[in-house]
Structure 1
Amino acid sequence: MATAPLTILARFRAPFWSFRPLNTLVRRLLLVTVAGILIVDSLLRATSDTEISLVRAIFGTSIIIVVALFAWRPPAAAIALTAFALIGTVTAGASDALLSAAVLVGLVGTTCSAALTFVYLGAVFAWTASEVVSPDASLQLAGGFVIAILALVSLLIGFTVRQLQDRSLRLAEQLAASEREVAEQLRHERDLIADELHDIVAHEITIVALHAAVLERTQDPQTRAQSQTAIREAAVQALTDIRRVLGMVRGEENLSPERVPSADSLEGAIEAVSKELGAAGIAVTVEMPPELRLPNASLLALVRVIRESATNVLKHATGTRHVRIALTVAHDWVHLTFSDDSPPAQTAGLPSSGYGIMRLRERFRLFGGTLDARRQSTGWVVKASLPLAA
């Protein structure tokens, strides 16, 4: 119940000349109504036997014309009506126009600032008082009281309409904000699901494809057994990860980064990558400080860089014989270097989307770090840096 007075007080703090424009439909209805009233008023005056004074005719017609200004500039219309009311206060003798002026208080209250509305209301009350006390006026005290009540009721209706409009606008803004938030959450969840699927497809399926190619080219029993084992392990891991992603899609698992299943330890990720690369005949050298402790988000980011880099070596760096993984900590930053000795212009023939590196760059940027991947004279080099407080 206290919202209405607070709304009125807030409107008093609004600029004097501020206004709420009428919508297109109301504007058209207003203009049609004004045109119709002008036509009817002119016909009535032309056919009436009653003599109408010039002042009353001017006031009546002027007020009707001024009402049309509300379609474009409500404050200008309100000021014009206020001027007519003040003129009526001085001249008197136009009580029939006073009734129209009282009814229009609601229109002023709907479209104009509260300060301008009460200025106009005061002018209407002054006009009413002058008509009541004037010896030449036909308006009696009871009639003046009725007009005052009519003006107040019109004001209440105008403020109520304005309040309903404000509430409707607030609800529309809240709905738009909620829709934007939902859209952002959906986009975020799609990105997380895409990241998970990319990790599965790009890494495990790459292992399957490479070892399937080995099975086609070799008849060595030991090599074939190793490839079959690698295919089986990669397929089982891929199925496990796909079931986890499906659980995310069904809502069985949350997708917020802090609630994504914890990443493997760096040691575990490097050991798994070394085993996969070793199975492809690539030696791995690891350099990292002992007892390296990282936040979960930083750990997950670095693990994904190592896995993505290893996948790219298997997919695109045919001829690689050695990979170096180096982790260093300096000045509250952790630095990762993943390099290979692959010769240029040799690939394993597997397609590349560039999605993995692109998403990793975005992730590192959000964490305040950097990621760079480029070919140098000695082979491909991936460098990633993150603040320890990420």
Structure 2
Amino acid sequence: MTRTDRQRRLLPSHLAEPGGSGAARPRRTVRDWIVDTSLFLLAALVGLVAADTSAQYTSEPVTLFDQLTGGLACCALWLRRRWPVGLAIGLSLANVVAPVAAGALLASLFSVAVRRPFREVAWICALAVATSVVQVFLRPDPTTSRTLSLVLGFVLVLLVTAWGMLVRSRRQLVEALRERARRAEAEAELRAAQAQRLAREAIAREMHDVLAHRLTLLSVHAGALEFRPDAPPEQIARAAGVIRDSAHEALQDLREIIGVLRAPDEEGEGNRPQPTLATLPALVEESRQAGAEVVLDTTVDDPDAVPAATGRTVYRIAQEGLTNARKHAPGTPVTVTVRGRPGEGLTVGVHNPAPAGPVPHLPGSGQGLIGLTERTALAGGRLEHGPAPDGGFALRAWLPWPP
């Protein structure tokens, strides 16, 4: 199916342009039948009036010819939806010798103006005017002067054509408004789908940032218990306590994320406070309790003065940096640095030296840094990460801090 055929099928019956080969012609609706019948009766009425006038001043054979021609012209109007242009041309030529076809000619002109483009309408209208002029001289009306007949024919043709073009323009406007409404609805659905996708990405990023830190603690201490079964009872008890606390915190964080996904009227948790810059020392202390050597160096005297969104981003960056250091450089000291002031921005860095042994490579490595880059960009900042000059790894980010 070609593009033109698809457009014709999508157009309603009153805007379809028939006449194309192989094009599916829509069936007449009840409204179409009413319009066609009304035009047929109107054309027949005009033809009867013209035939009655012609019978008074012409011979019987001419009167019979007029009546037959007028009847055929009115019956031909039922073909106006299928062949509007051909019908209008034929009735224009018939109008030259049979004035009784004038009503059918006007109806066909109206159909052409409604259903065809302006270029075709213009030359068909010119043909109808020309044949009307010829008809005035070939079959003059004894009751009307030639000048009045010429003016009347010209005005009627123009009025009917203008009326048809007005109807066409109105229908095209209505159809354009409907198409715009359908397009707006489709765009709204696309925006909703995009919003859902962005929400899912944000939730996935948040789950990674929150749970990766807890699960890394579980993995490290579970591995220590596996490879050091002969460790002193105190170390085993401490590792088991860290595993228990980390599992509990992971469950709490998971409940918090699930609470965000719940409907507003559902009851449950999900209203835990979000981390900020003020909770960064607690994160560092948690890593220390898990056995990591972490140094926090900050020059921000009032963490509560930092915007909540910026502080939360700093917290997530530090959390991801500590998690990566624990996974890829276990046993190395980690330094978390926070610098900044209002108006100049906030800088956070996480650095760890190179590990003593080979650097382990874990499946899925790098996904957290990709999420951090997106999170930092959304916050209006920038993130840099890579090998440090001393052979270790450095993570550094800058975030805006309005004055």
* 1:23 aligned residue: 7
* 2:279 aligned residue: 268
* 1:177 aligned residue: 187
Q: Is the 1:106–1:155 Cα contact (8 Å) retained in structure 2?
A: no
Residue by residue over 1:297-331, the C-alpha shift from the partner in whole angstroms, topping out at 9 and shown as x without a partner, is 21221111011111111111124124232323375
Stretches of structure 2 lacking an aligned partner (at least 5 in a row)? 24-64, 66-78
CA pair 149-204 structure 1, distance change in 2 beyond 3 A:
same
1:209 to 212, 215, 219: 219
CA pair 332-281 structure 1, distance change in 2 beyond 3 A:
closer
Shift of 1:154: 4.3
2:204 to 186, 194, 198: 194
* 2:239 aligned residue: 227
* 2:354 aligned residue: 342
Q: Which residue identity does 2:395 align to in structure 1? A: V
Q: Is the 2:222–2:243 Cα contact (8 Å) retained in structure 1?
A: yes
Match runs of 1:216-295 below 5 Å: 216-218=226-228, 219-252=231-264, 263-292=274-303, 293-295=305-307
* 1:14 aligned residue: none
Shift of 1:127: 5.7
- Take 1:126 and 1:22, find their aligned partners in 2: how far apart are those partners? 36
Shift of 1:97: 9.1
* 1:165 aligned residue: 175
CA pair 300-108 structure 1, distance change in 2 beyond 3 A:
farther
Q: Which residue identity does 1:205 align to in structure 2? A: L
Shift of 1:287: 2.2
Shift of 1:245: 2.2
Shift of 1:93: 5.4
- Take 2:5 and 2:129, find their aligned partners in 1: how far apart are those partners? 28
- Take 2:254 and 2:112, find their aligned partners in 1: how far apart are those partners? 63
Q: Is the 1:102–1:124 Cα contact (8 Å) retained in structure 2?
A: no
- Take 1:24 and 1:272, find their aligned partners in 2: how far apart are those partners? 66
Residue by residue over 1:148-176, the C-alpha shift from the partner in whole angstroms, topping out at 9 and shown as x without a partner, is 88657644653453233212311221122
Match runs of 1:31-50 below 5 Å: 31-32=20-21
Which of 132-141 and 244-253 deviates more?
A: 132-141
Shift of 1:343: 2.7
Stretches of structure 1 lacking an aligned partner (at least 5 in a row)? 1-19, 35-49, 51-63, 71-76
CA pair 165-346 structure 1, distance change in 2 beyond 3 A:
same
Q: Are 1:360 and 2:349 matched, yes or no?
A: no
Which of 118-127 and 321-330 deviates more?
A: 118-127
CA pair 234-122 structure 1, distance change in 2 beyond 3 A:
same
RMSD value over aligned CA atoms?
4.8
Secondary structure of the corresponding residue to residue 364 of structure 2: coil
Q: Which residue identity does 1:383 align to in structure 2? A: R
Q: Is the 1:287–1:326 Cα contact (8 Å) retained in structure 2?
A: yes
Q: Is the 2:112–2:121 Cα contact (8 Å) retained in structure 1?
A: no
Which of 218-227 and 169-178 deviates more?
A: 218-227
Residue by residue over 1:243-277, the C-alpha shift from the partner in whole angstroms, topping out at 9 and shown as x without a partner, is 222233333499xxxx9975323131232233314
Residue by residue over 1:131-162, the C-alpha shift from the partner in whole angstroms, topping out at 9 and shown as x without a partner, is 78556268999996997886576446534532
Q: Are 1:136 and 2:134 matched, yes or no?
A: no
CA pair 323-165 structure 1, distance change in 2 beyond 3 A:
same
* 1:12 aligned residue: none
CA pair 140-208 structure 1, distance change in 2 beyond 3 A:
farther
CA pair 310-121 structure 1, distance change in 2 beyond 3 A:
farther
Q: Is the 2:331–2:355 Cα contact (8 Å) retained in structure 1?
A: yes
Q: Is the 1:106–1:159 Cα contact (8 Å) retained in structure 2?
A: no
Identity of paired residues, percent? Answer: 22
Q: Which residue identity does 1:30 align to in structure 2? A: G
Report the count of equivalent residues.
325
CA pair 118-150 structure 1, distance change in 2 beyond 3 A:
closer
CA pair 226-234 structure 1, distance change in 2 beyond 3 A:
same
- Take 1:108 and 1:139, find their aligned partners in 2: how far apart are those partners? 31
Show structure 1 runs of 4+ deviating over 6 A.
116-122, 138-150
Q: Are 1:382 and 2:371 matched, yes or no?
A: no
Q: Are 1:103 and 2:115 matched, yes or no?
A: no
- Take 1:349 and 1:22, find their aligned partners in 2: how far apart are those partners? 56
- Take 1:240 and 1:154, find their aligned partners in 2: how far apart are those partners? 71
Shift of 1:123: 5.0
CA pair 92-107 structure 1, distance change in 2 beyond 3 A:
closer
TM-score by length of 2: 0.64
CA pair 283-31 structure 1, distance change in 2 beyond 3 A:
closer
- Take 2:381 and 2:262, find their aligned partners in 1: how far apart are those partners? 33
Secondary structure of the corresponding residue to residue 23 of structure 1: helix
Shift of 1:106: 4.6
- Take 2:98 and 2:312, find their aligned partners in 1: how far apart are those partners? 83
CA pair 151-235 structure 1, distance change in 2 beyond 3 A:
same
